[in-house]
């Protein structure tokens, strides 16, 4: 019996103005039998570190000798934002496209992020399925986002197994704001355009390694491999809520200190009008905004960074589609 193999290759994503090469590592796991190719990456927003830790543990746990097909894994898709522990890249590096997840499939002669994406896309475009690991801001309920109406992507999202699945409208179906915010350039969306099923797990919040969430991430990834018949075994059936991501988040209409309503819990159903919290003037103590849910739905994110400016997101509420 032949054995599965692992290899790691350092590739150059782009060059910085000084000539320094921006590199990252691509892990390749080849199974004993033929099968699909799964591409998985983490940390294209560098402060979103739970995914990188998921891939380290996945590396230790993947049973190579029962793998069919190939897994390509990039734990640090964006080394620049990783080193800055940031979400976006400062103007000095990319004054055109600060957010890497708005430029896919990239452009080899474009801005820095476009070049980085284009280099990774050479690898990604060989894949039969894609998992792009992200995290949100505190507090966020772990969930998986997939394209509304895309059954193959939905199957992967269900296999990953978070309690909440969010479908997102894309392309012609999407609202104007979706286009204005450049969401068509997300990796998941660009891949779906190429007919590659793809999901975006959002593994709780950034900057911290959260033990439970990382374990769920490793289990979720192995479960995706089972759904693709790359590993033996069945995908467990789970109870879940399917909701639709909507762009009309509860936002701050005033700047100040935001105190979330005590007792609110992520994952709870909130009817329209439910109090979310209060934005205060920290100097005069005057309440400036009583924030409330703008519709019925599942509360899946609530900001804990209390100093807010007008326009900041305070909470995210998803419309429930199926229970
Ligand atoms: Zn992200």
Provide the 10 A C-beta neighbour count for residue 314. Answer: 20
Residue 87 has pLDDT above 90, yes or no: yes
Instruction: Report CA 149 to chain centroid distance, whole Å.
Output: 19
Range with the poorest average pLDDT among 65-74, 177-186, 214-223: 177-186
Q: Calculate how far, in angstroms, residue 283's C-alpha sits from the geometric centre of ligand 1.
A: 34
Q: Calculate how far, in angstroms, residue 46's C-alpha sits from the geometric centre of ligand 1.
A: 8
Q: Calculate how far, in angstroms, residue 140's C-alpha sits from the geometric centre of ligand 1.
A: 12
Q: Is 211 helix (H, G, I), strand (E, B) or coil?
A: helix
Domain boundaries, the chain: 5-243, 246-322
| Distance (Å, whole) CA 92 – CA 94 | 6
Q: Calculate how far, in angstroms, residue 50's C-alpha sits from the geometric centre of ligand 1.
A: 11
Per-residue pLDDT tens over the stretch 235-256: 988 778 888 876 658 999 999 9
Q: Calculate how far, in angstroms, residue 33's C-alpha sits from the geometric centre of ligand 1.
A: 33
Q: Calculate how far, in angstroms, residue 131's C-alpha sits from the geometric centre of ligand 1.
A: 12
Mean pLDDT, to the nearest integer, of 201-222?
94
Q: Is residue 308 a contact partner of residue 258, using CB atoms and an 8 Å limit?
A: yes
How is residue 234 annotated by DSSP? P
Per-residue pLDDT tens over the stretch 264-304: 999 999 999 999 999 999 999 999 999 999 889 999 999 98
Mean pLDDT, to the nearest integer, of 136-142?
86
Domain 246-322 fold? OB fold (Dihydrolipoamide Acetyltransferase, E2P) (2.40.50)
| Distance (Å, whole) CA 241 – CA 323 | 5
Q: Calculate how far, in angstroms, residue 71's C-alpha sits from the geometric centre of ligand 1.
A: 21
What pLDDT, on the 0 to 100 scale, is given for residue 247? 65
Q: Calculate how far, in angstroms, residue 186's C-alpha sits from the geometric centre of ligand 1.
A: 10
| Distance (Å, whole) CA 155 – CA 242 | 12
Percent of the chain beyond pLDDT 70? Answer: 98
Domain 5-243 fold? Aminopeptidase (3.40.630)
Q: Calculate how far, in angstroms, residue 4's C-alpha sits from the geometric centre of ligand 1.
A: 32
Provide the 10 A C-beta neighbour count for residue 221. Answer: 25
| Distance (Å, whole) CA 94 – CA 282 | 36
What pLDDT, on the 0 to 100 scale, is given for residue 225? 98
Q: Calculate how far, in angstroms, residue 208's C-alpha sits from the geometric centre of ligand 1.
A: 14
Length of the chain: 323
Q: Calculate how far, in angstroms, residue 133's C-alpha sits from the geometric centre of ligand 1.
A: 8
Q: Calculate how far, in angstroms, residue 233's C-alpha sits from the geometric centre of ligand 1.
A: 30
The full 3-state SS of 60-82, as one line of letters, equals: HHCCHHHCEEEEEEECCCCHHHH
Q: Calculate how far, in angstroms, residue 9's C-alpha sits from the geometric centre of ligand 1.
A: 24
By the CB criterion, residues less than 5 angstroms from ion ligand 1 are 45, 48, 134
6 versus 204: the higher-pLDDT residue is 6
Q: Calculate how far, in angstroms, residue 17's C-alpha sits from the geometric centre of ligand 1.
A: 25
Buried/exposed code over 271-287 (b: 16+ C-beta within 10 A; e: otherwise): eeebebbbbbeeeeeee
**Which residue reads 């009008």 in tokens?**
273
Q: Calculate how far, in angstroms, residue 205's C-alpha sits from the geometric centre of ligand 1.
A: 10
| Distance (Å, whole) CA 98 – CA 87 | 9
Q: Calculate how far, in angstroms, residue 267's C-alpha sits from the geometric centre of ligand 1.
A: 20
pTM over 0.75: yes
Q: Calculate how far, in angstroms, residue 162's C-alpha sits from the geometric centre of ligand 1.
A: 17
For the chain, helix (H) and strand (E) counts, in that order, are 7, 17
Q: Calculate how far, in angstroms, residue 136's C-alpha sits from the geometric centre of ligand 1.
A: 7
């Amino acid at each position: 019996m032949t054995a599965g193999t692992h290899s790691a290759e350092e590739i150059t994503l782009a060059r910085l103005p000084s000539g320094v090469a921006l590199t990252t590592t691509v892990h390749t796991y080849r199974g004993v039998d033929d099968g699909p190719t799964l591409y998985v990456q983490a940390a294209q927003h560098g402060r979103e570190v739970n995914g990188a830790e998921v891939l380290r543990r996945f590396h230790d746990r993947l049973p190579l000798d029962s793998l069919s097909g190939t897994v390509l894994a990039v734990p640090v898709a964006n080394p620049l934002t990783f080193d800055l522990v940031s979400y976006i890249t400062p103007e000095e590096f990319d004054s055109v496209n600060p957010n890497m997840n708005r430029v896919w499939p990239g452009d080899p002669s474009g801005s820095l992020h476009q070049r980085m994406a284009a280099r990774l896309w050479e690898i990604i475009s060989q894949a039969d399925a894609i998992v792009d690991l992200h995290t949100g801001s505190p507090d966020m309920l772990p969930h998986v986002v997939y394209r509304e109406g895309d059954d193959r992507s939905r199957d992967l999202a269900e296999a990953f197994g978070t309690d909440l699945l969010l479908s997102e409208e894309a392309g012609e179906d999407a609202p104007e704001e979706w286009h204005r915010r450049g969401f068509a350039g997300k990796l998941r969306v660009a891949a779906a355009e190429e007919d590659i099923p793809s999901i975006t797990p959002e593994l709780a919040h950034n900057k911290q390694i959260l033990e439970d969430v990382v374990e769920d991430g490793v289990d979720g990834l192995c479960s995706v491999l089972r759904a693709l018949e790359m590993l033996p075994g069945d995908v467990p059936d789970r109870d879940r809520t399917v909701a639709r991501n909507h762009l009309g988040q509860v936002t701050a209409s005033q700047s100040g200190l935001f105190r979330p309503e005590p007792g609110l819990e992520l994952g709870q159903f909130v009817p329209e009008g439910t109090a979310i919290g209060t934005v205060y003037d920290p100097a005069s103590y005057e309440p400036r905004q009583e924030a409330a849910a703008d519709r019925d739905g599942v509360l899946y994110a609530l900001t804990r960074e209390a100093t807010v400016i007008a326009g900041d997101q305070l909470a995210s509420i998803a419309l429930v589609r199926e229970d």
